[in-house]
Structure 1
């Protein structure tokens, strides 16, 4: 990153963003890989996997929320150059994530079967979803540690180590999933359960790699905890993090409730949404990571005491970069829809037609979504987390969830109409985010 007296450039954003983008694509790519590998087993297997990951996603959403808060908090600490602040933030973030992961695993083991039983349409779907989920809980523990460590390194500006961890885990996931899904040599054929086994092995390898890196970086306990004690440091961390956690948990709950509602659709519609959702996450992460990298730099600048003019100069450049990312993502979506029969040759003609019909929505979606992400990450970096929380939460629960229920349960609309809800939601949030960004006093840094 640029020095304390220099305004960062887009190349500084790019240096942070491209490893984060590769890592995030591979993170979401875990689901895409499982989808591609499970697709030959048929639409029922795809639907079962979507149900299982929807249930597990409640816990993963909390883990990712706390990790995102940790990333911003570490970036703020990095800007101040206070080593005790950095170390306090690291240990508190790791401890919280591990506790949440263990609690989530226990909750899924107790209640997961009942939730799947309620939402599954047929007994075979219920059994397959439970088979997948029974192994996928291991992924939750691995992600609890791995995401916290990744966020710590990202906040410091060392975004390449998390990327390297996924360069290790993705090939492991592909190879292990193929072996356990179809059976190779002495390994029996596990079917859909094999995809979860492959993911569990890969996530474990990734978490171990990052833990070794953290140990070698001599991340010791702080000499003096930030604000004097563990209790005070924890209180300050949670005060900052709670609105971010609420925002991300709300998003996860809303998304996965919508996914559970999707289970009430016709099988072809449900399968089409299950296939396109991971692709939206993977391609869309390019703009999201650019926004997150910009937010990290804003946090560094605010921690260093940068003035409003420097912040404005930096963000003006970063916004042009975000627009370029949106164009690239739109082209990626277009190519995916046009080549869908190549990616998924085993799907029925009706499912393929639905995927192609998604094209207009997917091409428009990256533009308002990317600009909203720039606003949200900038405001969070400045500590204005409550306003961001309100914009997300109210749009989700007053529009997205009710609209999904209305479109599916009342009007029985097809998957194209249901997907359009995502675009409408981003358009609704656009004036709210941009008004807050333009007219609030976040540039003063008083909310840090």
Structure 2
């Protein structure tokens, strides 16, 4: 059995409610907002240096996003696996999930760094809108590479704590690191207090220091709360090699789903670089906002998935699962409405938030408003379906659904819209909405079959 530090959350002792989901979701949401908000803050701070600097940071972030996407993809799989292990109350299962997840995360981060070192400069030269932007982008990416190692550790531990229901610990780690990031970025971008003005590279330096603090905090808390797992004998399978292999087999479809989503988004971001400078700057600004505000709905659905995985691990009744999911779904639509309101405020405040940018860039931001208001509703409903099905182990179907819609629709449609038809940024952004509508029937039909309620996690 688990120690007191890993007791089953009180929400699982009876029929979980939307309030229980909220208690799990709000720390995850704030943590995710801080994570994506780092990019928003960097973009905001760098925007005062002009469109060229902003485009340079956007291009470097798109390339680094490929590696961070891989880390986050396996971290999401780790979160679900941990929740299943936590639900069974098996300390050996929990230890196996933690050790396997950390090994995989570090391997993915190191592999990604190698790819960046070998190909990053060439890719920047081929896609940068100008020579100056290419130089600035390389400087940013070289320093940001240090962030990748810290994120490999930090994201794995965050997913472990989330799966155990301790969602406040990852939040605390960001509450500690975010002020450090913002303060150092401001100082190093502009050269305050006698420091050199590093410009775009200064934003990456602030992020690198902050991620070290974040990962260090999580490691200390892991040792304090679950250090006893080091003394638990045995592995989920007969030895660690087989345990790791089983973890990889479970994780790959989930990781492939998230990696496909992130990689397709980064490919599209690189294609956006072929828009006009003002339109690309507008897309660079709005993309982090879509991630930041969108995390409200996404983290609600992930918290729902954690509860479903834990409930399935306890073999709870189908009637209870139905009641819980119905409540969680209603909450998802409230979350979608909140996201729409945030998008509305951002677009209407563009003249104030980004006064240093020229009028055309700000007009493009305002034109995005109709798409952003409706996007959260199908996206949120699809997310509830996807995370519920993943929690039951139905990962292959979800992987195919994401991969085919992204690579057979969104990526080629974006390339055609930008490179061939020369459409405006408004129509390019609208492809996000059409992608959600394409996925909608397949997601909901699969959930309504009810097979997910009969999954045997303990086996």
Are the structure 2 counterparts of residues 4 and 344 from structure 1 closer, same or farther at C-alpha, using a change threshold of 3 Å? Answer: closer
Q: 2:314 aligns with which of 285, 304, 316?
A: 304
Shift of 1:5: 5.4
In structure 2, distance between residues paired with 1:352 and 1:91? 47
Is the Cα contact below 8 Å between 2:30 and 2:171 reproduced in 1? yes
Write the distance in 2 (CA, Å) between the matches of 1:198 and 1:181.
9
The answer to whether the 8 A contact 2:79-2:163 is kept is: yes
In structure 2, the CA distance between the partners of 1:37 and 1:5, relative to structure 1 (3 Å rule), is closer
What SS does structure 2 have at the residue aligned with 1:264?
A: coil
Which runs of no fewer than 5 residues in structure 1 stay unpaired? none
Matched, 1:439 2:449: yes
Alignment correspondent of 1:426: 436
CA displacement 1:308-340 (0-9 Å, x = unmatched) = 111000000000100100111111111111111
TM-score, L = length of structure 2: 0.96
Q: Tell me the C-alpha RMSD between the 2 structures.
A: 1.1
Map 1:343-362 → 2, pairs under 5 A:
343-362=353-372
Q: 1:77 aligns to what SS in structure 2?
A: helix
Question: In structure 2, what is the Cα distance between the partners aligned to 1:151 and 1:410?
Answer: 41
Residues 333-344 of structure 1 aligned to structure 2 (within 5 Å): 333-344=343-354
**Which secondary structure does the structure 2 equivalent of 1:217 belong to?**
helix
**Structure 2 segments unaligned to the other structure (5+ residues):** 1-8
- Contact 1:4–1:304, Cα closer than 8 Å, also in 2: no
- Residues 67-88 of structure 1, C-alpha deviations (whole Å, 9 max, x = no match): 0000000000000000000011
Q: 1:255 to 1:403 in 2, by over 3 A?
A: same
Q: CA deviation at 1:373?
A: 0.4
The whole-number CA distance in structure 2 between the counterparts of 1:253 and 1:4 is: 36
Taking the aligned partners of 1:343 and 1:49, their CA distance within structure 2 comes to 18
Counterpart residue number, 1:14: 22
8 Å contact from structure 1 (residues 384, 447) kept in 2:
no
Report deviation, 1:142.
Answer: 0.8
User: Hey, what does 2:203 align to over in structure 1?
Assistant: 195
Aligned mates of 1:184, 1:333 — CA distance in 2 = 33
Q: Distance in 2 between matches of 1:194 and 1:44?
A: 16
Contact 2:313 2:457 in 1 (8 A): no
Three-state SS of the structure 2 residue aligned to 1:31 is helix
State which drifts further: 34-43 or 105-114.
105-114
After superposition, where does 1:46-445 map in structure 2 within 5 Å?
46-219=54-227, 220-221=229-230, 222-445=232-455
Q: Judging changes above 3 Å, is the alpha-carbon distance between structure 1 residues 447 and 398 closer, same or farther for their aligned structure 2 residues?
A: farther
SS in 2 for 1:378: helix
Report the alpha carbon displacement of residue 106 of structure 1 after superposing the two structures with TM: 2.0
Q: How far apart, in 1, do the equivalents of 2:12 and 2:422 lie?
A: 57
Separation in structure 2 between the aligned mates of residue 320 and residue 300 of structure 1, nearest angstrom? 20
More deviation, 179-188/371-380: 179-188
Following superposition, the deviation at residue 3 of structure 1 comes to: 5.7
SS of the residue corresponding to residue 16 of structure 1 reads helix
CA contact (8 A) 2:11 2:20 kept: no
Offset at residue 96 of structure 1 (A)? 1.0
Q: SS of the counterpart of 2:253?
A: helix
Q: When the two structures are superposed, what TM-score results if normalisation uses the length of structure 1?
A: 0.98
- Once the two structures are overlaid, the 10-residue window that deviates more, 61-70 or 113-122, is 113-122
> In the TM superposition, what is the alpha-carbon distance from 1:63 to its structure 2 partner?
0.1
Tell me how far apart the structure 1 counterparts of residues 92 and 247 of structure 2 sit (CA, whole Å). Answer: 13
Q: Are the counterparts in 2 of residues 67 and 147 from structure 1 also a CA contact under 8 Å?
A: yes
